[in-house]
């Protein structure tokens, strides 16, 4: 009985905590969380043949490292105060080819051209926002992409300093 249970677990489809969209082959990447700033922008680079090569996130006024491969034409979308990414739509074939970013203020920004299989990504809980990305890359660009969702950071009140008079 234990042997059958072990084999069933080994042969079963893995259950991932976060969904990845696309073929997801190649080298894994994951954005580094920023515990002091929410995402304030996104930059996407696209090749001449319409493949999304890389993605960068902006936290506060600083851009993250590049997730993907170098090259392509970069386009960025900056968020305003109290504006958050709350959903994405995209498409893929072998590589990710299209992303549309939607914000809580009704703005949206398309990157690339729709082609292949489409997907929609949004948080499972109301009030959550995009806080990071993960995925996989190969030589020409991003083959799979997933999205990390969490609640916005709350402004922390300044801690009172101890003044001696």
pLDDT digits (tens, 9 = 90+) for 81-134: 999 999 999 999 999 999 999 999 999 999 999 999 999 999 999 999 999 999
pLDDT in the model for residue 18? 74
Residue with tokens 């008079």: 165
Q: Which of 117, 92, 112 is nearest to 100 (CA)?
A: 112
pLDDT, mean of residues 3-26: 57
Closest alpha carbon to 145 in 104, 88, 62, 81? 88
Q: What is the pLDDT of residues 65-96, one digit of tens each?
A: 999 999 999 999 999 999 999 999 999 999 99
What dihedral angle (degrees, nearest 10) is formed by the CA atoms of 36, 38, 42, 43? 0
Comparing 6-15, 118-127, 149-158, the range with the smallest average pLDDT is 6-15
- Name the pairing type of β-strands 27-30 and 129-138: antiparallel
Q: Which residues pair with 133 in a beta bridge?
A: 147
| The pLDDT value given to residue 17 | 52
**pLDDT given at position 11:** 37
Where do the domains of the chain lie, and which CATH numbers do they carry? Answer: 17-150 (2.100.10.30)
Q: Above pLDDT 90, what percent of the chain?
A: 80
pTM, full prediction: 0.82
pLDDT at position 145 over 80: yes
pLDDT at residue 7 is higher than 60: no
Rg (CA), the chain: 19
Q: Read off the pLDDT of each residue in 15-39 and give the average, rounded to a whole number.
A: 87
């Amino acid at each position: 009985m234990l042997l059958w249970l072990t084999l069933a677990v080994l042969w079963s489809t893995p259950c991932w905590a976060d969904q990845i969209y696309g073929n997801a082959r190649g080298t894994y990447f994951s954005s580094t969380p920023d515990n002091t700033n929410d995402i304030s922008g996104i930059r996407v680079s696209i090749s001449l043949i319409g493949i999304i090569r890389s993605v960068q996130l902006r936290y506060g006024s600083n851009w993250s490292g590049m997730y993907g491969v170098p090259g392509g034409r970069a386009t960025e979308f900056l968020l305003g105060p109290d504006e958050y990414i709350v959903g994405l739509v995209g498409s893929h074939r072998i590589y990710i080819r299209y992303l549309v970013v939607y914000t809580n203020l009704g703005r949206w920004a398309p990157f690339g051209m729709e082609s292949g299989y489409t997907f929609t990504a949004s948080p499972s809980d109301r009030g959550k926002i995009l806080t990071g990305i993960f995925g996989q890359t190969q030589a020409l660009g991003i083959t799979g992409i997933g999205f990390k969702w969490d609640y916005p950071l709350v402004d922390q009140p300044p801690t009172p300093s101890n003044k001696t008079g």
